[in-house]
Amino acid sequence: MKILVDENMPYAQTLFSRLGEVQAVPGRPIPQAALAGADALMVRSVTKVNADLLAGTGVKFVGTATAGTDHVDDAWLAAQGIGFSAAPGCNAIAVVEYVFSALLILAQRDGWQLRDKTVGIVGVGNVGSRLQARLEALGVKTLLCDPPRAARGDHGPFWPLEKLVAEADILTFHTPLNKEGPYRSRHLVDAEVLAALPDNRVLINACRGAVVDNAALLAALRGGKALRTVLDVWEPEPDLSLPLLQAVDIGTAHIAGYSLEGKARGTTQVFEAYSQFLGRPQQVPLATLLPVPDVSEVTLNGNLAANLDEGTLLRLMHLVYDVRRDDAPLRRVAGIPGEFDKLRKFYQERREWSSLCIQCDDEATAALLTRLGFSARLR
């Protein structure tokens, strides 16, 4: 059995070789010749999976080690009887930690406290709900917008986007890219929404580039719109607009979800799905794959639970991940053909906050840090 895997999928060789012969290939584009004789294909978001790629091949299963699935024509796969699995939630924690880092950097730069702000979360799924939980732990007010969940009667409250645009200081987008349908999210942020946004707000897009109309955003920023902007995703990728990159406050190469844990979960989720598909179910505990982090333990002195200072939180967070390490390289190489994908391929190892164990003096501080996503213990 021949299994093709994207070369940017850590641990794929180790795991999938338990099931068959593994060949690692580039994902953008997949070399067509490699598909000859392949039984299964494991991709990332850069590969368009559709009839053009797979018609006439023997591929019987496709896995994508990603949360988003807009690159996959799942209706066509289903019509062909080809098995399919994504990796929902695999990298949600990484995206949340990216958003926290960006927000606390902007707060420090502009002299405000996150605790004094209202954060509007658009799309309250795996990423959005984890973001809400951590913001809540810190005492930050949130407003949620998720029409599909509202229609299902899920516990909210959920509000229309217009309310978030009018009232939230920070607007952060975590929807799938729906190109059509009742919950269309393509250009959810368009010229009209941008015009309606009051001054001095923060806009974050860490879901899919086209959720924000990039041309309209550039026009607004060029027109003097007072808006802090954080973009991890672009319309289009990899050929993002260089003027837009220059105009945003933080810009990164679609790496918000790129923690080692997030990527490893993506691989294990599709591995488990494929082994299930073959009738040979296997589970892979994440801890058996991950290396020891560079920094694994620090001590925090004193009782900080009552009012965890945001400067202290920033320092703790940035012992693990600081989004500026990804902003600077993109600005250096954007516009050079191939470099956007190279930044992603040779991504410096990044861990999640849970990899840092914080020793605390008291239980309340340890409990708060645990709610925020760190590992914490009493010393």
Ligand X SMILES: O=C(O)[C@H](O)[C@H](O)COP(=O)(O)O
Ligand Y SMILES: NC(=O)c1ccc[n+]([C@@H]2O[C@H](COP(=O)([O-])OP(=O)(O)OC[C@H]3O[C@@H](n4cnc5c(N)ncnc54)[C@H](O)[C@@H]3O)[C@@H](O)[C@H]2O)c1
Q: Which of 4, 5, 8, 252 binds ligand X (CB under 6 A)?
A: 8
Instruction: Detail the residues annotated as belonging to a binding site for NAD(+).
Output: 146, 175, 232, 257
Rounded to whole angstroms, the Cα distance separating 356 from 350 reads 12
Residue closer to ligand Y by CB (options 69, 365) is: 69
From the list 44, 71, 97, 237, the catalytic residue is 237
From the list 130, 149, 228, 254, the catalytic residue is 254
Residue with nearest beta carbon to ligand Y: 125
Q: Output the six-digit token pair for 353.
A: 């906050």
> Active-site residue 237, yes or no?
yes
> Would you count residue 44 as binding ligand X (CB under 6 A)?
yes
> Would you count residue 185 as binding ligand X (CB under 6 A)?
no
Residue closer to ligand Y by CB (options 206, 360) is: 206
> Would you count residue 66 as binding ligand X (CB under 6 A)?
yes
Q: Residue 198: left (phi > 0), alpha (psi -120 to 50), or beta?
A: beta
Q: Which does 175 bind (CB under 5 to 8 A by kind): ligand Y, ligand X, none?
A: ligand Y
Residue closer to ligand X by CB (options 137, 290) is: 290
Cα 17 to the center of its chain, rounded Å: 28
Q: Where are the beta strands (DSSP E) in the chain?
A: 2-6, 21-25, 40-43, 61-64, 83-85, 118-122, 141-145, 170-173, 201-205, 227-231, 250-251, 297-299, 357-360, 375-378
| Min dist. Cβ of residue 50 to ligand X (A) | 16
Rounded to whole angstroms, the Cα distance separating 228 from 117 reads 14
Rounded to whole angstroms, the Cα distance separating 184 from 206 reads 17
Binding mask 130-169 for ligand X (x = CB under 6 A): ----------------------------------------
Kindly provide the b/e burial profile for residues 255-271, where b requires at least 16 CB atoms within 10 angstroms of the residue's own CB. Answer: bbbbbbbbbbbbbbbbb
Q: Output the six-digit token pair for 130.
A: 């984890």
Catalytic residues: 208, 237, 254
The site for ligand X (CB under 6 A) is made up of 8, 44-46, 66-68, 91, 254, 257-258, 344
